[in-house]
């Protein structure tokens, strides 16, 4: 019971991070039908930026108030990562919109290679170990169990929940959200109705990147280590989450993220940590083969 | 229901549901051997769904679609139905067969409402792909005979090209044989798609709106082509069409669908005067308009 | 000329300046923390920040000037009176001439290099350029069957390459089987894996297929890492038997290749033999593919790429058509894998990462899907081009001793992928040659050719 509850907490923490990244995949796929291969690397980039900002705030400005540092790092990373993804869309994807189907995919793979190598060159290939940001543990135990929850985990879940709430509001209630849904349905018709399709797509990339940046900040705080090659595996897992939840569906992405986080943690706890990545990839394959529309996605009927 | 003696195709109690939507509802009809049969009805009546069921692209929710190559008694079909098998040598239960088997063994070929040519391949290649099965057999195990350029394979290829050329002559496209199919004008693409379907050597040819988007001259060419297919090649035709002048001109038998159900079934003469058909096309029962439309149909113009 | 200069109005210049300024601002925003502040571990292993403002200045100036010049040039060219040139598909004869020239160059390459640089100087060129590029040419041609001809997007192609490599590594080290026996076995094994993996996934369409193949590719790599009893995990399998000249080892021994043919022993013999071996394997791949394209099997692949539904309506068993493409592509990857293992005499899972699959796919797409010549050209450009960066030591004179151009290889590789896609989304050679003709063989322009949905 102890182990189970403990892994539940750990799994949900990890799952929150995957869920945040997964939204970026699912939104971009929903609106332009493209798997944004570089998204995992955008996440890695954001974690690196977060670490640099954190160091800069503490070293150069000498800030010591943790909440203030956290908010500044979070907002700064979201803005800068958003700008990065905006530029990536503008440079590497927009010229290819409506062209040959494989072209944007290859371009995205190229972008992914570019980003990870850029970070490797400008920041060096070694692991960057961040200083402890937040320590402190809580013990709680329903029915005599002893489960440890760290302050970091509480922070991660609170931030994820509140930002998801904000994001949900934007997508459901604002004009931007409506424009996004219209573009996802039919871009040409949306354009005819006076929606600025280019701008909507750009904003989608910015929002996706901002959420990935939140994940990056939390990742940096939780693991305390960032490396230029950290984009690929979390990227693929988050994509798995998006597919599992039903690609194109926003609640699906979050649900899928939590499930992947839980499966991975439980797998590592009860079976073997060697094969935890195999488990994630297998779920990806199995879901796509047997349930291509995922848990919450709409089934796709073949048009004859 | 029009009585068809010893039908080629016999559809019984066919239903197709998508979730809660009933696209085809308990439909039964027969297609006569050597006939041109038309399936008409307003947009959304379920005509293309019927085609997709016939050709195996959809698995019908219910019903039996029996095709008999030889003149076989209804009893043969019943025996096959209870046996649980998919087909015998002459009788085929299409609802049990996969799409490619339907073309291959039951010999039902089809065209599509939105033309589906291999647009990056030449006109000739399109007709050769349709003869895939014959050529595959000729190319031997693992394509070895073909890979080594054996004579038997080269002969088969020559025969396939000759067959293709025959069809190119019939649709007047010999000069464009080596051009990409995507380069052809619309009307030629329609006729090429029919020729391609004919290259699979079908016993029943299903055409989904073959006259859509054609000008009157092209429509006339099409009518001629369809007649020659019926009379010279002995292939029966089932077609979906909105162009009433074409339908009334060439059909031997017309079936009218509305909301997935059959509302009329008979000769062109009987359909022309059927008030239910007129009402369905119009959607209202205003006497005067009905009369106007019936006038239009009987003079052979599109509604 | 001067009229065009005059026509370059003030507003256009202002616009270009504005754009350059905008670029400068965006670049500054992008680069600010990432380029300016470098994270470093100090002596006590504490993380510190180093400031590096010069990088930011270079990046901002470089990119904004590039943007300005780009816009001015664009404007200049737009004004140039230019006859509209219709994009004519390349003629088959031209491609033929290029192919023949390439073939001669291929076979002459090691001898020419040897003649000019001598045995020790030419080793690097024949091995790092010749053999390396040819492996990618072969893999590109193999994947071209799957992606270019059949239109099925495979992101896990490297898995079959790994199967081939490990098949040779294990069969030769455990059972002592010779390379010449293992080569066909590796191909068969990879083809079997192709069918096994292909069967469940081939009914998926589009990007879904791509992702599942990626997942399978990664699963195979992770199994190679974790199944240490058989594969020796990340450490890999070493001392794999080297290539022999049909039984004669390339050693200085009396029964070696050099002694038998009364030559002075040199390691270059083996490299040259490997070069011709991979050249023959690649050409075999090419030959079989070109033959198959003119047979019903190959035409069915292309028809599948054009329109799967129409294929089914014409009686083609599309699952079988897909499986043949998948198995054949996998088989060639298996051959290449066995060759890779015998060349390196060492294999480990690091050689079979997703990056390899992406590189091979990029070669196929950049070359022009379906075009054998285009794929070969793309392999030369992408692999040779990044390899050549290792040679640019003179850049150290400009950028300082610490500058290592090889470090930028993958960065430039990634940028090149993006740039070529934007420049030529359909690849370098995008026209298609018909498989048969009635009167005249005319190439088909890319705009008609389908891209596949699978």
Arithmetic mean of pLDDT, A69-88: 95
Is the model's pLDDT at B289 over the cut of 80? no
pLDDT score of C36 = 85
- The answer to whether position A54 is within a domain reads yes
Mean pLDDT to the nearest integer, C298-308: 93
CA distance B203 to chain C (A): 13
pLDDT per position as a tens digit, B62-92: 999 999 988 777 788 888 888 888 888 888 9
Residue B177's pLDDT is 92
User: Does C440 contact chain B (CB < 8 Å)?
Assistant: yes
Structural domains of chain B ordered from first start: 1-106+213-303 (3.40.50.300), 118-202 (3.40.50.300)
Give which of A285, A270, A228, A267 is closest to A14, Cα–Cα.
A267
Cα–Cα–Cα angle for B238, B244, B245, rounded to 5 degrees: 105
Question: Which segment of B67-81, B198-212, C143-157 scores lowest on mean pLDDT?
Answer: B67-81
Cβ contact A304–B18 (<8 Å): no
Q: In chain C, what percentage of residues exceed pLDDT 70? A: 93
Contacts of A119 (CB under 8 A, 6+ apart): A44, A45, A48, A228, C34
pLDDT value of residue B291? 66
Segment among A262-271, B276-285, C259-268, C413-422 with least mean pLDDT: B276-285
Residue of C nearest to B107 (CA): C315
Asked if C306 and B132 come within 8 Å (Cβ–Cβ), the reply is no
pLDDT at res. A4: 84
For chain C, percent of residues with pLDDT exceeding 90: 37
pLDDT, residue B288, reads 63
A297 lies in some domain: no
Interface contact B57, partner C, CB < 8 A = yes
Q: B251-286: string of b/e by CB count within 10 Å (b at 16+)?
A: bbbbbbbbebbbbbbbebeebbebeebbbbbbeeee
Nearest-CA distance C443 → chain B (Å): 9
Residue pair A214/A18 in contact by the 8 Å Cβ criterion: no
Q: Report how many Cβ contacts below 8 Å link chain A to chain C.
A: 181
Give tens-digit pLDDT for C68-106: 898 888 888 777 665 555 455 556 677 788 888 888 988
Show the tokens assigned to A37: 């291969």
Q: What is the pLDDT of residues B46-66, one digit of tens each?
A: 899 999 999 999 999 999 999
For each of the domains in chain C, give its residue range(s) and CATH number, in order of start: 2-79 (no CATH), 103-245+271-423 (1.10.3470)
Average pLDDT of the residues in A24-38: 89
Rounded to a whole number, what is the distance in Å from the CA of C231 to chain A's nearest CA?
A: 15
Q: Using CB atoms, which residue from C302, C315, C445 is nearest to B100?
A: C315
**Structure tokens of C79?**
């004004």
CB contact under 8 A, A103 and C200: no
Q: Are B121 and C316 within 8 A, CB to CB? A: no
C-chain residues near A96 (CB < 8 A)? 421-422, 425
What residues in chain B have their Cβ under 8 A from chain A's Cβ atoms? 18, 48, 52, 57-58, 112
**Structural domain of A144:** 2-230
- Alpha-helical runs (H) found in C240-394: 257-260, 268-293, 296-306, 308-313, 318-344, 354-367, 372-379, 385-388
Express each pLDDT in C180-239 by its tens digit: 999 999 999 999 999 998 888 887 877 778 888 988 999 999 999 999 888 888 899 988
For residues C127 and C154, the answer to whether their CB atoms sit within 8 Å is no
The dihedral sign for the CA sequence B190, B195, B200, B205? positive
What is the predicted ipTM?
0.89
Mean pLDDT of all residues in A81-108: 90
Instruction: Kindly tell me if the per-residue pLDDT of C432 is higher than 60.
Output: yes
Distance CA B134, CA C195 (A): 25
**Among A114-118, B78-82, C377-381, which stretch is predicted with the lowest mean pLDDT?**
B78-82
Residue B302 clears pLDDT 50, i.e. is over it: no
C-alpha distance from A298 to closest chain B C-alpha (Å)? 12
Domain count, chain A: 1
Among C34, C231, C451, which would you mutate to test the A interface (most chain A Cβ atoms within 10 Å of its Cβ)? C34
pLDDT, position C1: 45
Are C134 and C282 in contact by the 8 Å Cβ rule? The answer is yes
In contact, B201 and B1? CB cutoff 8 Å: no
A192 interface with B at CB cutoff 8 Å? no
| Record: contact A107-C418, CB cut-off 8 A | yes
Question: Is residue A62 a part of any domain in this protein?
Answer: yes
Span C247-258, pLDDT tens digits: 888 888 888 888
Alpha-carbon gap, residue B287 to B276, rounded angstroms? 12
Cβ contact, residue pair A117, C414, below 8 Å: yes
pLDDT band at A76 (very low <50, low <70, confident <90, very high): very high
Q: pLDDT (tens digit, 9 = 90+) per residue, A47-58?
A: 999 999 999 998
| Residue A267 placed within a domain | no
Nearest CA in chain C to B110: C313
Task: Tell me C149's DSSP state.
Answer: I
Q: B117–C310: do the CB atoms touch at under 8 Å?
A: yes
The conformation of residue C83, written as its DSSP 8-state character, comes to: P
Compute the distance between CA of residue A20 and CA of residue A213 in angstroms, rounded to an integer: 9
Give CA angle at C337 (C332, C340), nearest 5°. 130
What does the alpha-carbon distance between residue C220 and residue C234 come to, in Å, rounded to a whole number? 13
Mean pLDDT calculated for residue range C237-243 = 88
**CB-based contact B112 A301, cutoff 8 Å:** no
The answer as to whether A178 is a domain residue is yes
Dump strand ranges (E) for chain B: 9-18, 21-31, 36-40, 62-68, 91-93, 108-110, 204-208, 236-240, 253-258, 261-266
Lowest mean pLDDT among B291-295, C21-25, C175-179: B291-295
Mean pLDDT of A15-37: 90
Query: Are A304 and B57 a contacting pair at CB < 8 A?
Result: yes
Nearest CA in chain A to C233: A274
Q: Do A55 and C309 touch (CB under 8 A)?
A: no
| Low-confidence winner among A172-181, C28-37, C164-173, C438-447 (lowest mean pLDDT) | C438-447
Q: Is residue A203 situated within a structural domain? A: yes
Higher pLDDT, B113 or B140: B113
Q: Which of A99, A117, A288 sits opposite C212 (nearest CB)?
A: A288
Contacts of B110 (CB under 8 A, 6+ apart): B51, B54, B55, B103, B197, B205, B206, B207, B208, C313
Contact C417 A107 (CB under 8 A): yes
Mean pLDDT of chain C: 86
Quick one: pLDDT band at residue B303, thresholds 50, 70, 90? Answer: very low
Beta bridge partners of B264: B256
Q: Does A301 touch chain B (CB under 8 A)?
A: yes
- Give residue B132's pLDDT band: very low, low, confident or very high (50, 70, 90): very high
8 Å CB contact between B41 and B280: yes
Across residues A3-32, what is the average pLDDT? 90
């Amino acid at each position: 019971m102890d182990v189970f509850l403990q892994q539940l907490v750990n799994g949900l923490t990890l799952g929150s991070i995957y869920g945040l990244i997964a939204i970026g995949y699912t939104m971009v796929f929903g609106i332009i039908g493209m798997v944004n291969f570089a998204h995992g690397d955008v996440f890695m980039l954001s974690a690196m930026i977060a670490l640099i900002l954190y160091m800069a705030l503490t070293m150069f400005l000498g800030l010591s108030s943790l909440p203030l540092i956290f908010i500044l790092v979070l907002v700064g990373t979201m803005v800068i990562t958003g700008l990065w993804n905006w530029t990536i869309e503008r440079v590497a994807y927009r010229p290819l919109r409506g062209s040959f189907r494989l072209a944007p995919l290859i371009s995205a793979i190229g972008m992914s290679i570019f980003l990870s190598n850029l970070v490797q060159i400008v920041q060096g290939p070694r692991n960057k170990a961040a200083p402890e940001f937040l320590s402190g543990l809580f013990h709680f135990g329903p029915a005599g169990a002893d489960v440890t929850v760290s302050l970091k985990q509480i922070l991660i879940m609170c931030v994820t929940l509140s930002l998801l709430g904000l994001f949900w509001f934007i997508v459901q209630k604002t004009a931007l959200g409506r424009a996004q849904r219209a573009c996802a349905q039919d871009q040409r018709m949306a354009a005819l109705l006076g929606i600025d399709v280019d701008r909507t797509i750009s904003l989608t990339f910015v929002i996706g990147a901002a959420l990935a940046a939140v994940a990056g900040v939390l990742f940096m705080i939780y693991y305390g280590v960032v490396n230029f090659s950290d984009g690929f595996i979390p990227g693929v897992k988050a994509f798995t989450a998006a597919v599992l939840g039903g690609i194109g569906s926003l609640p699906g992405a979050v649900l899928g993220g939590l499930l992947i986080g839980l499966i991975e943690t439980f797998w590592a706890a009860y079976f073997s940590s060697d094969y935890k990545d195999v488990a994630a990839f297998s779920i990806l394959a199995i879901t796509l083969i047997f349930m291509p529309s995922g848990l919450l996605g709409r089934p796709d009927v073949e048009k004859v | 229901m029009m009585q068809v003696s010893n039908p080629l195709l016999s559809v019984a109690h066919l239903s197709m549901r998508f979730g809660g939507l009933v696209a085809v509802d308990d439909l039964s009809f027969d297609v006569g051997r050597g006939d041109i049969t038309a399936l008409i009805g307003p947009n959304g009546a379920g005509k293309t769904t019927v085609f997709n069921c016939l050709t195996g692209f959809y698995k019908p929710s219910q019903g039996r679609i029996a095709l008999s190559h030889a003149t076989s008694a209804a009893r043969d079909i019943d025996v096959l139905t209870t046996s649980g098998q998919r087909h015998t040598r002459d009788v085929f239960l299409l609802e049990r067969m996969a799409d490619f088997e339907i073309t291959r063994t039951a010999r039902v070929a089809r065209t599509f409402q939105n033309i589906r040519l291999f647009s990056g391949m030449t006109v000739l290649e399109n007709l050769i792909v349709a003869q895939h099965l014959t050529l595959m057999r000729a190319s031997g195990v693992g394509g070895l005979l073909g890979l080594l350029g054996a004579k038997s394979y080269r002969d088969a290829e020559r025969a396939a090209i000759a067959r293709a050329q025959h069809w190119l002559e019939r649709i007047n496209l010999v000069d464009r044989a080596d051009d990409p199919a995507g380069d052809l004008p619309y009307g030629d693409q329609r006729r090429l798609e029919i020729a391609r379907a004919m290259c699979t050597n079908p016993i029943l040819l299903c055409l989904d709106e073959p006259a859509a988007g054609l000008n009157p001259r092209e429509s006339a060419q099409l009518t001629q082509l369809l007649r020659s297919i019926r009379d010279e090649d002995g292939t029966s035709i089932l077609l979906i069409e909105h162009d009433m002048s074409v339908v009334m001109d060439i059909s031997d038998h017309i079936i009218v669908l509305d909301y997935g159900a059959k509302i009329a079934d008979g000769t062109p003469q009987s359909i022309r005067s059927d008030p239910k058909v007129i009402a369905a096309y119009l959607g209202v029962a205003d006497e005067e308009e009905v009369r106007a439309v019936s006038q239009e149909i009987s003079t052979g113009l599109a509604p | 000329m001067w009229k065009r200069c005059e026509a370059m109005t003030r507003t256009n210049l202002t616009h270009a300046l504005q754009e350059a300024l905008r670029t400068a601002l965006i670049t500054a925003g992008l680069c600010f923390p990432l380029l300016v502040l470098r994270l470093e571990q100090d002596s006590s292993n504490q993380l510190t920040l180093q400031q590096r403002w010069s990088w930011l200045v270079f990046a901002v100036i470089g990119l904004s000037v590039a943007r300005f010049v780009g816009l001015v040039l664009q404007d200049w060219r737009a004004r140039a009176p230019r006859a509209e040139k219709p994009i004519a598909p390349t003629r088959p004869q031209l491609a033929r001439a290029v192919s023949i020239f390439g073939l001669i160059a291929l076979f002459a390459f090691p001898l020419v290099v040897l003649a000019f640089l001598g045995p020790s100087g030419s080793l690097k060129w024949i091995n790092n350029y010749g053999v390396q590029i040819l492996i990618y040419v072969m893999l590109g041609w193999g994947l071209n069957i799957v992606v270019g001809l059949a239109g099925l997007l495979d992101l896990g192609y490297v898995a079959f390459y790994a199967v081939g490599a490990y098949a040779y590594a294990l069969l030769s080290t455990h059972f002592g089987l010779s390379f010449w026996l293992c080569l066909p076995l590796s191909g068969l094994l990879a083809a079997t894996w192709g069918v096994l993996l292909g069967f469940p996934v081939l009914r998926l369409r589009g990007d879904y297929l791509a992702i599942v193949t990626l997942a399978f590719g990664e699963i195979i790599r992770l199994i190679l890492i974790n199944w240490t009893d058989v594969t020796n995990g990340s450490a890999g399998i070493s001392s794999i038997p080297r290539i022999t000249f049909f039984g004669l080892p390339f050693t200085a021994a009396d029964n070696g290749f050099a002694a038998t043919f009364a030559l002075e022993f040199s390691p270059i013999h083996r490299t040259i033999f490997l070069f011709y071996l991979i050249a023959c394997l690649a050409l075999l791949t090419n030959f079989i593919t070109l033959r198959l394209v003119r047979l019903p099997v190959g035409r069915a692949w292309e028809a599948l790429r054009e329109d799967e539904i129409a294929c089914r309506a014409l009686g083609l068993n599309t699952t079988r058509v897909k499986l043949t493409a998948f198995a054949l592509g996998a088989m060639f990857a298996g051959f290449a894998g066995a060759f890779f293992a015998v060349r390196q005499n060492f294999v480990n899972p690091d050689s079979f990462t997703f990056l390899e699959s992406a590189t091979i796919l990029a070669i196929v797409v950049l070359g022009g899907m379906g075009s054998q010549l285009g794929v070969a050209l793309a392999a030369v450009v992408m692999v040779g081009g990044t390899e050549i960066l290792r040679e640019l030591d003179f850049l150290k004179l400009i950028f300082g001793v610490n500058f290592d151009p090889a470090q930028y290889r993958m960065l430039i590789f990634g940028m090149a992928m993006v740039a070529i896609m934007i420049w030529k989304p359909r690849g370098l050679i995008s026209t298609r040659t018909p498989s048969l003709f009635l009167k005249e063989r005319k190439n088909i322009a890319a705009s008609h050719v389908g891209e596949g949905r699978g």
